[in-house]
Amino acid sequence: MGDKRILVLAGLDPTGGAGLLADVSILREEGIHSLGVPTALTIQSGEKVQKVERVSARYFERALSSATTSLPPDGIKIGMIFSAPIGRATHKFLEDRRNIPAVLDPVLFASGGEPLILDETMAVLKMIIPLCNLVTPNIGELDVLAELFNVKGTGIEKRGLELSGKIDVPLLVKGGHRKGEKGVDLLFSQEKISRFHPEKVGGKDFHGTGCALSSLIAAMLVKGHSLKSAISFAKKSIEMRMAKGWKSPGGRWFLSS
């Protein structure tokens, strides 16, 4: 432990099912030490996000600078950003660290529809995206990003290709909420599409799978895997964790270790 480190910038979900706590625990299972700075503080049950509170930019910037100066990370995973000042500090940090992989899960809404980003943050999100090495939207997030980057194409394939070309960053569109080809993730990179098929299509309502997937991809990139191999590994690992998952008393499912 400790020879590879990932910086996690994500929201704090006190249930541990998503966000910073979930990211740190899955990275530890891969033998990776996490540095973590919360981008926002959520109040949620295992079922629903009830409220999101800002963290101060002053705390965020100082914590980020102090931790990463003493322990430089080998990779970065970014999840929920929430507010514009945190987005600006994240952007500045990424500009100075172009030499290490950064995976962005553009968390915009919770599964229940609660917004996890403020409107004020969309402009800085647009500046952050081109500084990343992979962006992992779900279908709903793809639609919002397509609008943000003025993508004209319709349908997942045209949109994905056009958007990844515009941002010049590979795009992994997660298929968990797709109607056709359910569970098939599409990677758009260098004008090509690669498909990642699930072994089994599950119908359960899981919490935090997107967070875990992007963290595992970042872990594999830091370990030297190619992008496709990192995605394949991460997808299989999530499926295995879903197969062994557990149901919370309120009915949603959590990934197992």
What residue ranges bind ligand PLP (CB under 6 A)? Answer: 10-11, 13, 18-19, 42, 49, 79-80, 107, 110-111, 116, 207-208, 210-211
Q: Nearer Cβ to ligand PLP, position 36 or 208? A: 208
Element (H, E) at 172: strand 171-173
Q: Nearer Cβ to ligand PLP, position 35 or 211? A: 211
The dihedral through the CA atoms of 151, 115, 250, 239 has a sign that is positive
DSSP code per residue over 183-234: T-EEEEETTEEEEE--SS---S-EESHHHHHHHHHHHHHHTT--HHHHHHHH
CA–CA dist 44, 78 (Å, integer)? 20
Q: Nearer Cβ to ligand PLP, position 155 or 203? A: 203
**3-state SS class at 159:** helix
CB of 48 to ligand PLP, least distance (A): 8
Q: Nearer Cβ to ligand PLP, position 226 or 256? A: 256
CB of 10 to ligand PLP, least distance (A): 6
Q: Report whether 11 contacts 41 (CB < 8 A).
A: yes
CA–CA dist 11, 18 (Å, integer)? 8
Q: Nearer Cβ to ligand PLP, position 42 or 83? A: 42
- Please give the distance of CA 158 from its chain centroid, rounded to a whole number: 22
CB of 215 to ligand PLP, least distance (A): 11
CB of 89 to ligand PLP, least distance (A): 18
Element (H, E) at 191: none
CB of 224 to ligand PLP, least distance (A): 26
